Amino acid sequence: MLADTLITLKERTLKTFPERQFIHRTGGQVNYFVLTTRAQLFLTGLVGIVLMWCLFTIASIFWSQSPLRSSNVELKVQKEEFNRHLIDLDAQVNDARELLGLQQKEFEKAAGNFEQKHNTIVAMLTQGKIADNENDLSPSIYAQSDILMSPVSLNVIEKQPRYSLTSLDVMNTGTILDASLQTIEKDQNKILIAGEAKIQNRIEINRAILAATGISFDRILRNGDAGVGGPFISIDEKGAPDLPKQTPGELISRLDSIKARSMEVEALDKAMISVPLAHPIDAEYYLTSSFGRRKDPFTKRPTRHNGLDMASYRLAPIVATADGTVSFVGRRAGYGRVVEISHGHGFKTRYAHLAKTYVKRGQSVVVGEKIAGMGSSGRSTSTHLHYEVYFENRAQDPALFIKAGKYVQ
């Protein structure tokens, strides 16, 4: 009985898994290999085992995680934990939103401060012209004490303190970027303080030099290029000005003050270019007659002398005492051969008794440029230069301007 069963099983197996031959042809050659019944049974069994293992694994995972195994208590506990996690997440999201809002406000404030300081530094560099190169504007604070009126060695004008400089506050945004922001902020503050001191120093030097000429710098600036400006102040419907709510010492007020001084030093620098402070003779000379009342060399009668007489050798180089434009070249009664230069800001200079002239009307000249040669033309006793300085068409003492020019650095 058993033998018959085994024979039947063997026959069915051979019928199901008969010996198979696989023929393969390539390159004109025919190859074949044989897959025996035993090999087919082995492969079939191996595949079956793998499939059963996969099914078992999937069933185990599904059964272990099925909610059918959990009791009602476990389900409630998991639900409560899940709800608690949701509540915690909502709270964290709200806290993050509030923190983000605060940080955004701080960043906007910091950005505004950075922009204000950047614009002020640009104004100091462009209008104030306080740095010709990067080494001129050191972040070190070199003016801890009061700014003095005239920092020159020959103290002809009494020094007067302006005001003390103070440092600016550093912004805190409450973020991880505070270290970098504070470093940048401190560097900006140091540059602003150093630049402010340098601008104030230049303002006081220029004011001192202009004051030494005997002419008010306000009058000189009024003769410069016209300009308008000032902060924007809106007006509401009732007609009252909408003033910004600021207290003295705030950042914007401080920066506006620095910008104003940058504009002032720019205006003073332009005025200084127009002031005739240089010597009119590029050679050794000696003074033969000063400004004011004197005895006329021809009539011996008292008369007014509107300039300086300076003697040297014939054709000694006569130079422009400031930048300007030649307004007249020719002869004038009593002056002989003359060159007149308009310097702007109300200033004009006259060079008389010349032997030769080297410029023509309308020509632009710079300070120190040779314009003529000394001579004795016109109403003159011998070779010399008659030099006059006019401001607002009124004669000024050229000696004051030459003396003030000694303090130009």
Is residue 140 predicted with pLDDT exceeding 80?
A: no
Q: Residue 29: what residue type?
A: Q
More confident residue, 402 or 173: 402
Q: Is the dihedral of CA 361, 365, 371, 377 positive or negative?
A: positive
The pLDDT-based confidence of 359 (bands split at 50, 70, 90) is very high
Tokens of 404: 């003030």
SS3 content of the chain, % helix, strand, coil (to 5): 45, 20, 35
pLDDT of residue 193: 77
Q: Are 130 and 266 in contact (CB under 8 A)?
A: no
pLDDT of residue 235: 36
pLDDT of residue 150: 34
pLDDT of residue 272: 86
More confident residue, 404 or 409: 404
pLDDT of residue 252: 57
Is residue 245 predicted with pLDDT exceeding 60?
A: no
Q: What are phi and psi of 373, to 5 degrees?
A: -120, 140
The pLDDT-based confidence of 248 (bands split at 50, 70, 90) is very low
Taking the C-alpha atoms of residue 97 and residue 101, their distance in angstroms, rounded to an integer, is 6
More confident residue, 206 or 182: 206
Is residue 345 predicted with pLDDT exceeding 80?
A: yes
Mean pLDDT of 331-339: 93
Taking the C-alpha atoms of residue 292 and residue 297, their distance in angstroms, rounded to an integer, is 14
Is residue 373 predicted with pLDDT exceeding 60?
A: yes
Q: What are the chain's domains?
A: 2-64 (no CATH), 112-274 (no CATH), 286-405 (2.70.70.10)
Mean pLDDT of 40-68: 82
List, in order, residues 6 or more apart from 331 with CB less than 8 Å away: 337, 338, 377, 378
Kindly report, residue by residue over 255-311, the tens digit of the pLDDT.
777 777 778 778 888 888 899 999 999 999 999 989 988 877 777 788 888 899 999
Q: Residue 241: what residue type?
A: P
- DSSP helix/strand/coil, 316: coil
pLDDT of residue 323: 94
Mean pLDDT of 41-47: 88
The pLDDT-based confidence of 223 (bands split at 50, 70, 90) is confident
List, in order, residues 6 or more apart from 116 with CB less than 8 Å away: 251, 252, 255
What is the residue-averaged pLDDT of the chain?
Answer: 76
Is residue 315 predicted with pLDDT exceeding 80?
A: yes
Mean pLDDT of 375-397: 92
More confident residue, 125 or 4: 4
Q: Residue 289: what residue type?
A: S
Tokens of 353: 């008794």
The pLDDT-based confidence of 1 (bands split at 50, 70, 90) is confident
Least reliable range by pLDDT among 50-54, 59-63, 316-320? 59-63
